[in-house]
Amino acid sequence: MSSSARTKDASYRTVAPARSGSKHEPIDRAAALEWAKANGVKPTPSDTFQHRLNSRRAELGLPRFIIDTRPQLKVVTQQDRPKRAAPAIKPLATSESELLELVTDHSGTITCQVTPQIAGWLLTLNTGNRPVLKANVERFRAILKADRWQNTGEPIIVSREGVLNDGQHRLLAIKAAGYTVELDVRFGVTREAFYATGFGKRRSTPDVLGVEGYSNTSCQASIARLIRAYDAGQMGAIRQTTLEPEEALQIIERDDNIPHVAARIQRFTSFPPCRCGGFGFPLVLAARKLPVERIFEFAALVVSGLAQDGGSPTYRLHQKLGDMRARRERISQVDLAALTIKAWNSWIARGSLLQPMKTTDSDRTSAGFPRLKWA
C-alpha cells in the first residue's frame, strides 16, 4: 500500500512510510523516474540509475532513495520477444594472403576478431604513419589487461593502396599484450583520406560524466583520479598514469560522497582555492569513517579563515592558500591534497601546526605522501 509523503524537494509516492531519522526514502520506480525527470537525471533501465539518482539527491542535501524492485505486471512488447542469436564473429583473415585479397578487393567495414597474429599482418602495412606514441600503446595495453576493451565502432583503416591509415597504436597494443579482441576494420578508402583522419577530439572524463547526468564533472573527475592513486599507493606516479572515463565512472558510482563533496565545495565562491579536487579529495577520504557534518565543519573553517587562534591548522592552510593566490602561484592537485591532509590530521587531533605549512619532496612520492587520520 503506497502512502503520500511530502519533502522539501517535491511531493512523491513512497512504497512505505520512512522511519524517523532515516537517511533513506523507499520509493517505487515510477515515482523515481518522475523525480529524475524533474531534477535533470537521465532515466535509464540500467543498474546505474539509482547511483545517479542518489548522487543528484546528495548534491541537493536530500535523503537517498531506495527503489522498490518487486516484480510488476509486465506487458510483453516487441523488445521482449526472443531475439535471434547474433552471428558468430570470425577472425579477419586466416592467412596474410587472404588479408591482402581483402585490401585489394573489398570495400566496406568488417566486424571481426583481430588476433595478435592478424595485428602483426596489418602492421606490415604501416609504412606511412605518424611516429608511435608509447604512452598511447601503454594506455591500450592497460585497457586490455584490465578487461575493459570495447569495440567502439572506431575502425582500423586500411587504404586501397595497401597502407594502414589509422589504428597503429591499437594494433601494437594487441600484438604486445597477446590478446584477441573484437574490432571493426575498414577497407577501400583512399590513401589521401589519411590526412583528414584523426582530427576529432577524444572524449574526456568530464565529458563522459556529463553525458551520464553528473554535475561538477571536472571536480568529480579530479577527486576520482586522486582516490584511485591514493588507494593504489601511487600518488608519486599520478602524472604518469591515466584514469579512463569508465573507471572514473565506476569509482564515483561506488561512493556517493564524491558528488556530495564536489557540489558542496563549489559553494565556496569566496575562496576559489578550495573549489577543486585537491581539496575535495581528503574530505571524501574522511567521509569514509566520519559524519559529513564534521568534515564540512573543517572545510568551512579553512575557507573562512576563522579560528580560535592564529596557530590553528585550518587558519594556517587558509593563509597559505590565500598568499599563494595573491602571488598568483600555481599549486598542483597533489600538493594541495598533501597540505589539506596535514591540516586535517592536526585539526582532528586538536593540535597546532608548529612547523611551516609546506610540502616536501618526500610528500610527492608514493611512499612519503601523507596518510589521512581519523583520530
Q: What is the pLDDT of residues 247-306, one digit of tens each?
A: 899 999 999 999 999 999 999 999 999 999 999 999 999 999 999 999 999 999 999 998
Q: Which among 357, 326, 329 has a CA at the least distance from the CA of 344?
A: 357
pLDDT at 208: 80
By DSSP bridging, strand 156-159 and strand 181-189 are parallel
**Parallel/antiparallel/unpaired status of strands 164-166 and 24-28:** unpaired
Output the pLDDT for position 79.
Answer: 59
Tell me 267's DSSP state: T
Average pLDDT along the chain = 85
* Residue ranges in 159-272 assigned as alpha helix (H): 168-177, 205-211, 217-231, 245-254, 257-265
Please give the pLDDT value at position 90: 93
**Residue 74 pLDDT:** 53
Classify each residue of 19-42 as buried b or exposed e, where b means 16 or more C-beta atoms within 10 Å of its C-beta.
eeeeeebbbbbebbbbbbeebebe
Report how far apart, in Å, the C-alpha atoms of 135 and of each of 138, 238, 365 are: 5, 14, 21
| Cβ atoms of 343 and 313 closer than 8 Å | yes
pLDDT at residue 213, rounded to an integer: 84
